[in-house]
Structure 1
Amino acid sequence: MITNKRAFIASTIALASLATTGLATAQTALDDVMKSKSIKIAIPTDFPPYGFVGTDLQPQGLDVDMAKLIAAKLGTKVELVPVTSANRIPYLQTRKADLVISTLGKNPERLAVIDFTVAYSPFFQAVFAAKSLPLASFADLAGKSVGVTRGAIEDQELTKLAPPTTDIKRFEDNNGTVSAFVSGQVQVIATGASVAGNLMARNPQLGTEYKLLLKDSPNFIGVAKGEDALRTKVNEVILAAKKAGELDVMAKKWLGRPAGTLPE
């Protein structure tokens, strides 16, 4: 009985020791980054304008610029790690990346496995049109033709906000919606920031610009669970960049609108 009790106590101490060791290991990311003067940041390369490969075959986009800004503020080099939507969280969990900057929205499922910084950029659905077409409010859509993808979030929001006389033309997928706008079948397009960014990059002659916001869904930076020191440091960088107007400049460059009010 005494032997069993001692064994139980020993195993409990061992488990506690392992837990403490694990916690200590989990809190080394910031120290490791500062010692090596290098930070691994996962970014998208297939999701313009947030992350894509340019004509020079180098990653570029809003998320790439944000990764470079964080590295610069930390005084480190940045190692950009290309990821997809499917592997971006596993890369963080397996320490293949110190941070994930890849249009991550925050939800309960993700919060169960990783931590998040404050928001750094907007991800939104909006109304876009040529610079020459004045659209100051949704009332100005009256009598105009608007292309939208059937059943998408932007379709739902546009239906709520557009005047009854708006000529809403619904297409079966984003390619159909974009083609209709580019070919002049519709005057206005309601779509997501990524689709619009790609459209504008490929068709600069159209002079397309952001006009009206339909729905905002901000992006957050992913941090491994327990890495509170790194998360706090990155939050400091984001909030300072926000105060200095750097986030607005970045969003304006890639999304055609300022970052605006972002949740902290």
Structure 2
Amino acid sequence: MAALKMLSSDDFAGRKTGTEGNRKAMEWIESQLRDRAVMPATKEGYRAPFTAPNFRSPDEIIEGINLVAAISGTKNPKTAIIMSAHYDHLGADDGIYNGADDNASGVSALLEAISWFQANPPKNTILFAFFDAEEQGIVGSASMVDQFSTTEKENIAINLNLDMVSRADKSELYAIGGYHFPELIPLIKDIASRAPLKLLRGHETPDLGPDDWSFASDHAPFLRSGIRILYLGVEDHADYHKPSDEFDKVEPDAFARSVDTIMLTAEALDDWVAGLETSPTD
């Protein structure tokens, strides 16, 4: 809750990519990674700058910075699970779009996941990606996927993406991925049987039109590349993409149960991936 309150404060002025507020948010997240002493994903550090066309408006060039940390796997260090959340939002126009749920919540949960897996080392390597420019056309995650070599793609078992995970007002969280990768369905059902809230499937079939979330966030570039995805998020609410998406709208118990469900999911995925026969072990 402290991280959520900080990231959704006016200090970051809506965190829009390319603004001073976005830079300050990036630096604050980076300071949290340093404080946790988590390993940077590359020798260059946590920052992964990118310049890329806006996915939705190709004539527009976006410049941003992803942050990526890593915890090495104890069994399959060459096999990677990518946990992700975007830290950017819509900035300030007719008010400050602080984006408490969208997506300070996902970033806060991702920081909690780092602390959890530091205390409970994963079997597979986990990369923790804090993406920029999701609101500008899912640019940051697309840039990361575009830079993967063929071998790197083959060694990525799944992307677990978190976007809008705090407003579980109906005690519900949706898991998207089983339609595209049916092998995940038994896993999702098992997690749902143990989760402290309702973990539901849905919002992932083409017949749903705008209600199909398959390509609605940073998991989209992974899905397009044939990499498994599991996306966790709540349904849209009255404050979605409005200045009213504020910290005081988040009910702490609901968010806590959502984060517990995310941790259950991450642990279950780690165990599941470790059991895959195709996981590299050398």
Q: If the TM-score is normalised by the length of the shorter chain, which range does it land in?
A: under 0.3
User: Which structure: larger Rg?
Assistant: 1
Q: TM-score, normalised by structure 1?
A: 0.27
Say which structure is richer in strand: 1
